[in-house]
Structures are given as C-alpha cells and as structure tokens.
Amino acid sequence: MLSIFKKKEYLKDHLDGITDIHNHILPGIDDGASTIEESLILIKKLKSLGVRNFIATPHIMNDYYPNTPETIGKALSIVKEGMLTDSGLKENTITAAAEYMMDHSFLEILRKEQLLTLKGKYVLVEMSYFQAPINLNEILFQLQTRGYKPVLAHPERYAYYHASDLRNYEDLISRGCLFQLNTLSLTSHYGKNMEKTALKLLEAGMYNFIGSDTHRIQHLEKLENIQLNKKTLNIVKSLINNTKDIF
C-alpha cells in the first residue's frame, strides 16, 4: 500500500542542458511545425524545459516527405535567422540532421553517402509502424560497413516486436543499433502497450539516448507534466547524461 504514496518527480526538472536529438521543429517540410512562428514557439517551449541545443530531424520518407539536404538546409536557415532576431534565443544553437525511414529508397541515399547525421557517424533511423523492412538486415549491414552508428528512433513504438518479448530488440542491438527513447513513451500518449514496452526496455538497459520527438506544442505540454518514480527516473537520468555526453 505504501508504494502508491511514493514521491514522484517531474522529468522536466532533470533535462537542463540536454540537446534534443529528435524533433520536427523545422517549418513546412514534414508533419511537424508548419511555419517559422510555430517553430520558434516550439523552440522557446523546449528551452523552458531545459533544452539548450537542438538537432532538428525532419522526416526523409520517399513516399511522403522526400526531403533532401537542400530542402532541410533551407528550412534550417530560416529558423537560424528567426532565432538570431529573438533576444531570448541568441545563446541557443540549432543544427539539422534527418530521421530516415528505412525503406526501399534509403539504401540509394546511403550508397551516395548523402546522410545527414546527428553528429559524426550517428544517424537517426526509423521503421514503418506496420512492419519491419524486408531488407532490414541488408540496411543495417550497409550502415555498419560504412561506419555509421544507426540510432533507432522510438523502438518501443514498433508493435510487431512486442509479442517476442525482447528477442527482436536484442537482435537489433547485436546488429549495431542504438536505441532512442521518446519522452512521451513514458506515458500512455502512444498507447499503453508502447508505455509498457518502453519500461521493459528501460529496465533491461537497452536504451542509449532520449529525445522529445516534438511535432507540436501539445507534445511539450504533456512532456512538462511527466512524473516518474525514483527507480524509473534514475534510469532515465542515465540516458539524459549519455545524450548530453555524446551530443
């Protein structure tokens, strides 16, 4: 009975100084911010939660968001200019990478060595929510062969892996994948199964990094209210510190 009265702490109180490595704050190029005004609102809100630096990661998804280094660079320039003219954001930095869908066109991008990385050889990738790519093993092999470190976005959200306990996740790690937790997966925002799987992966020590995956202000309003028990918070803090150390 006493466990239900154990004190919880707000996640936001432990984010100070972190770089947000997964977000959709560039305007008008994917399903995130639509305008520069919305971009700046999201950046200011992230800053109020402790985020100091930003790596924008718009989708590159052949069928829906065929972004290129050029389209992303143009959107990034717009945001940089907006931040420079806002006195409250002059001390913050923003760079751009991408969140790559591992689909049929990804290998061609990879072969051309045109990847926008988070930093160095770290590249943010994702999979379809319906099924893993048929050529997943080939993609991961080609990434490794070229020295890239694939950071798999929100592994907890791939429901087709839930039934196998953690075996599929262990296999991905053995193939060189690093895992990035979405902050909102610590709640039921994406569904109870996603929250349950996130906690299992946390307890198994499988995550490496944490990111907001912010698309809109409502995501940050929910993030602001996340409370965690001491055990979960201590694990999440290790992800926060690792994210700070690497990025």
CB 54 within 8 A of CB 43: yes
pLDDT of residue 12: 97
Assign 144 a pLDDT band (cuts: 50, 70, 90).
very high
pLDDT of residue 113: 84
Check whether 182 has a pLDDT greater than 50: yes
pLDDT of residue 15: 98
CA dihedral 215, 221, 225, 231 (to 10 degrees): 10
Domain ranges, ordered by start, for the chain = 2-246
pLDDT tens-digit map of 229-238: 999 999 999 9
Please name which of 148, 154, 27 lies closest in space to residue 94, comparing C-alpha atoms: 27
3-class DSSP string for the chain: CHHHHCCCEEHHHHCCCCEECCECCCCCCCCCCCCHHHHHHHHHHHHHCCCCEEEECCEEECCCECCCHHHHHHHHHHHHHHHHCCCCCCCCEEEECCEEECCCCHHHHHHCCCCCCCECCEEEEECCCCCCCCCHHHHHHHHHHCCCEEEEECHHHCHHHHHHCCHHHHHHHHCCCEEEEEHHHHCCCCCHHHHHHHHHHHHCCCCCEEECCECCHHHHHHHHCCEECHHHHHHHHHHHHHHHHHC
Check whether 2 has a pLDDT greater than 70: no
What's CA 55's distance to the chain center, in Å?
Answer: 10
pLDDT of residue 232: 97
pLDDT of residue 4: 52
Assign 89 a pLDDT band (cuts: 50, 70, 90).
very high
CATH of 2-246, one of 1.10.3720.10, 3.20.20.140, 3.90.120.10, 3.40.50.720: 3.20.20.140
Q: Average pLDDT, stretch 11-19?
A: 98
pLDDT of residue 7: 87
pLDDT of residue 9: 97
Computed over every residue of the chain, the mean pLDDT equals 95
